Amino acid sequence: MLSVAMIGKNEETCVSAALESVRHVASEVIFVDTGSTDNTKKIVIQAGGRVVNFDWTDDFSAARNHGLQLCTSDWILVIDCDEQLTLNSRSARFIEKLFLTTNSEFAYEVKIKNYLANGATEWHSNIRLFRNKLGLLFENPIHETLSDAVFRRNPTRSLPLAELSISHSGYKSPERNSRKRLRNLTILKKWVNESPENPFAWYKLGLTLRGNDIPKAVACLFRSFELLIARDDRHTFSFRYELLRALCAHLCETNPSLAKIVEQRGQLAFG
């Protein structure tokens, strides 16, 4: 009734906890392995999951979509190896109701609690739970999302929030964060080279560069801004306000007059 879809590589230190967290709700676990050389695949198999090997192509969506196509249950839940599904009596009742024929929803936002390296926590939500066999697929090689596919299916309605949550511990390790950042930069630079007119790709590259190269980061954010305001469909891009805030915040430190111009242009273009 519920397929759990995962992807990973060399995640032996955390995958067991992720698998244990879904053990009582998953009818099947489909694990797409992108090249593990440790005990990750063995751990997944011992936990009852199905491991599928997939050649890594610097494209998270390709790996995730390969797993989605192998899921056989009515609903799919997507979690990562460094995440755990948080279950309580309320979420258990929600999962039971999920499979009722009277449920007219086709996808849910899920709240995710991120544990940060400095000991703080922050929340965000993402589309992680959705009906199978609707053709919903992830898009973007990195920072992959189902949002565009969901919007095309139902552009006039926001998604409900699921009565369950996910805890994410991946940001707690500075070493892990550093490895992720280097990996992400490689993919993002490839993405903007292949899709130079994509404002979201430039936006994400700019955000990632902020840690060690502010001038290049601002240049990428400005490129994203210029591309976005030139589009007739700019109002469909949910990141537009975050882009404007990030760009203006950096410009205020070096060129306040330009920051004011950009803010005015953004407010006029985005509404």
What would the pLDDT profile of 50-75 be if each residue is shown by its tens digit? 999 999 999 999 999 999 999 999 99
Q: Mean pLDDT over all residues of the chain?
A: 94
* pLDDT for position 236: 83
- pLDDT value, residue 151: 86
Residue 26's Cβ-side half-sphere holds a number of Cα atoms within 13 Å equal to: 26
> Mean pLDDT, to the nearest integer, of 70-98?
93
Higher pLDDT, 164 or 211: 164
Q: Find all residues with CB under 8 Å of 173, minimum gap 6, and list them.
A: 117
What was the pLDDT predicted at 87? Answer: 87
CB atoms within 10 A of CB 190: 15
Within the chain, which residue ranges are assigned CATH 3.90.550.10?
2-172
How far is CA 98 from each of CA 77, 103, 119, 125, 177, rounded to the nearest angstrom?
12, 7, 34, 19, 35
Domain(s) labelled CATH 1.25.40.10 in the chain stretch across 174-270
More confident residue, 212 or 70: 70
| pTM of the entire predicted model | 0.92
CATH class of 174-270: mainly alpha
- Would you tell me which CATH number, out of the four given (3.90.550.10, 1.10.287.180, 3.50.50.60, 3.75.10.10), belongs to the domain 2-172? 3.90.550.10
Between CA 74 and CA 27 the distance in angstroms is: 10
Let me know: does 30 contact 4? Beta carbons within 8 Å.
Answer: yes
DSSP state at residue 145: B
Per-residue pLDDT at 46: 98
**Span 128-138, mean pLDDT?**
96
